[in-house]
Amino acid sequence: MIDIGMGSVQISECDQMGHLNVRYYVARADEALANLAHALGMGPRALRAQGLRLGVLDHHIRFIGELHVGAPFRFRGGVLGRDADTLVVLQEMRNTATDALAATFRVEVGLFDAASGERRPLPALPGADALRMELPAHAAPKGLNLTTPRARPHWDEAERLGLEQGHVGAVSARECDRDGWLTTDGIIARVWDGASNLPWRRPPPGPQTVKIGGAALEYRLHYHATPRAGDLITVRSGLREIGTKTTVATNWLFDRESGLACATAELVGVRFDLSTRKALEIDDETRARMLPYVKAGLAV
């Protein structure tokens, strides 16, 4: 693996839980991905000269350690494999001061025409062999799987399943790259933005003895089509599974005009005590409130 990124956590990148928000894990990983692509001969200027852009097809992310304001971090990257049009890479994010692992990203990457968005084949990547590696155990799926994604969902299916609506919005120009395509962090940002609207995330009525927060431990995101500035996005969500401490939630992000999903996302989430930073077990009352939102057949 080689160094592909360094920085430190800014206060504007942290959320109400007091740690780096998932959007900025992904945004920082995208910066590091561009550096890895450069090391493989696909630097941004070289791609622009050919009218191409790098795009993420699929993400598997494990959030392993919290990063707080001011924490320094670094990324290292390597190559897991490739075929004619897909490159699979691994990124590790660590706290520079402690070398503690913060997150891992297994990323499937492709090339696209910058104007039309059509897929293009990968070039020869002579530097890839020197960076070949196996997927380490700490980056392997734990609460999710990497099976072949399901067929692209349609809005009508979300209606039939009665999926909850969490986020309704539109893509702004400031979220897009120089060619007007939504950057990858804009997808996970909408899942997080809508989470507090979901009924199973709301606190029960009455006074709370423990201040409870929530965090994602693992994500799988599959990108069907990249939205552009001005496109309308609505997130529909349901629960797939309720464990002892964790839930698995499935989120379908729709282009509201076409009714087709632009992305699907699944995450392992946990409730935790904001004072002790420890995960909480799901008590019987909370489980009973969650059960009506478990929907059979949900998948990325």
Residue 204's pLDDT is 67
Neighbouring C-alpha atoms within 13 Å toward the C-beta of 45: 1
- Rg for the chain (alpha carbons), in Å? 19
Domains of the chain in sequence order: 1-140 (3.10.129.10), 147-300 (3.10.129.10)
Residue 284's pLDDT is 93
Residue 58 DSSP class: E
What the block records as the tokens of 178 is: 């120089």
Query: With b meaning 16 or more CB within 10 Å and e meaning fewer, what string describes 154-179?
Result: ebebbeebebbebbebebeeebbbeb
Per-residue pLDDT of the chain (300 residues; tens, 9 = 90+): 999 999 999 999 998 878 899 999 999 999 999 999 999 999 999 999 999 999 999 999 999 999 999 999 999 999 999 999 999 999 999 999 999 999 999 999 999 999 999 999 999 998 899 999 999 999 999 999 899 999 999 999 999 999 999 999 999 999 999 999 999 999 999 999 999 999 998 776 666 666 777 788 999 999 999 999 999 999 999 999 999 999 999 999 999 999 999 999 999 999 888 778 888 899 999 999 999 999 998 999
Alpha carbon distances (Å) from 188 to 67, 222, 236, 283: 18, 11, 13, 28
Please give the Cα distance from 228 to 69 (Å, whole number): 31
Residue 210's pLDDT is 67
